[in-house]
Every structure is written in structure tokens, then in C-alpha cells.
């Protein structure tokens, strides 16, 4: 696949787990589909063909990320790898429980009236990724949810918001986007959360783990 050199540092590694600082937010599918402005001033449809965008539109829509790195082919590159791994039988889907008490809401405004979790209460992340990277993917998702610092910190180009979805508060629910899914553009794995996210996960599982072909633009 011919990808613009501007995002060449974010090619998907097929030899080792190499996650990106680019994590694309995903929202539930709508009749209108992904907004024509979702990829800003980048490639048309972010580099996807009409066919690919129509198929993906049945699973999710793309949120506008506000950075050029997302707009010049990084998304089709990740989707292409997911499809390739699915066809090769290398993808798996699973659930990842995370203790709610370990989920860190970093925004002070969102922490207002933060409910105290029940003892042992867990939130669930629904995952699709390369099976051989199972442990690495889980560790990265947990680090995002916990808001880790130091060696395990996950530094991303734009806001991710997974903690706010997993541990909603009155304030975060009031202002939060419709985000309930995420695509890591480096390691090409998908994560979903919440009731709508669970539905998206099931659709994505049908598509990538044994579904219909997606052919991004060359």
C-alpha cells in the first residue's frame, strides 16, 4: 500500500509489537456514515475507497482527530493489516476486565462527583488484535485506562478518553463525545467499551475475524 511519507513512522510492524502514539477514536455507526470532514484537509476519506468506507460504516464512524497524522493514510494502513491478519487466522477477539478502582480519570472537571466503585467492581474492554500480541495489547489498554506515568505511560498525539468511557461520571457523561471504540494505528488493534462499543465489537469480529473483504485505496 502506498502511504504518504508524512506518516511513514507509523507503519504497522509485522515482526514485533510496535504501538503508535496515534489512537483513532471511533463512534457508533449512523445512517449518514462518517462525516466528510472527519479527515480534515487530508486525503479524501482518509485514503479509503468508497467501498471500504461503506463497509466500515456498518461497524463504526470515524471521529475527527484534529491532526494531519490521522488524515493521510494511517487508518487504511491499519485496517489493511487487520484484514491481512484475519485472513491468515492470526486475529483473536477477547474481553479484558479492568478493576474500576484502578481506572484514573485525569481531567479534574470530569472527576467531580466521581462515584466510589463497589469492591471488586470491574469494567470490560472488548478487544480484537493479533493473538501473538495478546499480553502486550492488554498491558497497553490497561496503561491507557490507568493513566500510567513513567516507563509504562502511553503518550498519545490526541485525546483518547478510554478511562472516561470505562468509568463514567455525571460530568464526563454530560460533555463526553460518543466515543466507544479505538484503533491503534501502529499495532493495528481495536478496543471497544460500553453497550454501544460491545455491539461494534461484535460487528468488527464478524468483519475481521471471518468476514467481508476490505480493499483500501492503493
For residue range 109-122, what is the model confidence (pLDDT) as tens digits? Answer: 666 667 788 888 99
Inside any domain, residue 81: yes
Picking from 130-144, 154-168, 200-214, which range would have the lowest pLDDT averaged per residue? 200-214
Band of the pLDDT at 6, cuts 50, 70, 90?
Answer: very low
Q: What is the extent of the structural domain holding 143? A: 5-202
Q: Among the ranges 62-66, 144-148, 173-177, which has the highest mean pLDDT value?
A: 62-66
Rounded to two decimals, what is the model's pTM?
0.84
Asked if residue 128 belongs to a domain, the reply is yes
The answer to whether position 207 is within a domain reads no
Q: Does 157 map to a domain? A: yes
Q: Is 108 among the domain residues?
A: yes
Does any domain span residue 92?
yes
Nearest Cα residue to 80 out of 4, 6, 188: 188
The model's confidence at residue 152, banded by pLDDT at 50, 70 and 90, is: low
SS3 sequence of the chain: CCCCHHHHHHCCCCCCCCCCCCEEEEECCCCCCCCCCCCCCCCHHHHCCHHHHHHHCCCCEECCCCCHHHCCCHHHHHHHHHHHHHHCCCEEEEEEEEEHHHCCCCCCCCCCCCCCCCCCCEEEEEEEEEHHHHHHHHHHHHHHHHCCCHHHCCCCCCCCCHHHHHCCCHHHHHHCCCCCEEEECCCCEEEEEHHHHHHHHHHHHHHHHCCCCCCCCC
Whether the pLDDT of residue 217 is over 70: the answer is no
User: Which pLDDT score is estimated for 43?
Assistant: 67
Domain tally, the chain: 1
Binning pLDDT at 50, 70 and 90, where does residue 150 land?
A: low
The answer to the question of residue 214 being in a domain is: no
Q: Is residue 54 one of the residues assigned to a domain?
A: yes
User: Which range, of 72-76, 172-176, 208-212, averages the lowest pLDDT?
Assistant: 172-176
Amino acid at each position: 500500500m502506498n502511504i504518504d511519507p508524512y506518516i511513514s513512522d507509523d507503519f504497522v510492524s509485522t515482526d514485533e509489537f510496535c504501538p503508535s502514539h496515534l489512537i483513532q477514536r471511533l463512534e457508533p455507526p449512523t445512517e449518514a456514515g462518517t462525516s466528510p470532514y472527519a479527515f480534515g484537509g487530508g486525503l479524501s476519506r482518509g485514503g479509503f475507497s468508497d467501498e471500504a468506507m461503506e463497509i466500515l460504516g456498518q461497524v463504526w464512524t470515524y471521529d475527527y482527530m484534529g491532526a494531519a497524522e490521522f488524515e493521510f493514510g494511517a487508518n487504511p494502513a491499519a485496517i489493511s493489516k487487520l484484514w491481512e491478519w484475519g485472513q491468515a487466522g492470526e486475529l483473536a477477539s477477547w474481553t479484558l476486565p479492568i478493576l474500576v478502582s484502578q481506572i484514573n480519570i485525569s481531567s479534574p472537571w470530569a472527576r467531580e462527583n466521581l462515584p466510589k466503585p463497589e469492591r471488586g467492581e470491574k469494567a470490560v474492554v472488548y478487544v480484537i488484535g493479533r493473538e501473538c500480541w495478546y499480553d502486550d495489547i492488554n498491558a497497553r489498554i490497561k496503561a491507557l485506562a490507568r493513566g500510567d506515568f513513567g516507563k509504562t505511560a502511553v503518550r498519545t498525539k490526541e485525546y483518547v478518553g478510554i478511562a472516561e468511557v470505562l468509568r463514567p461520571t455525571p460530568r464526563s457523561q454530560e460533555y463526553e463525545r460518543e466515543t466507544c471504540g479505538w484503533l491503534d494505528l501502529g499495532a493495528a488493534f481495536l478496543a471497544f467499551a460500553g453497550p454501544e462499543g460491545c455491539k461494534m465489537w461484535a460487528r468488527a469480529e464478524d468483519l475481521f475475524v471471518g468476514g467481508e473483504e476490505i480493499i483500501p485505496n492503493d
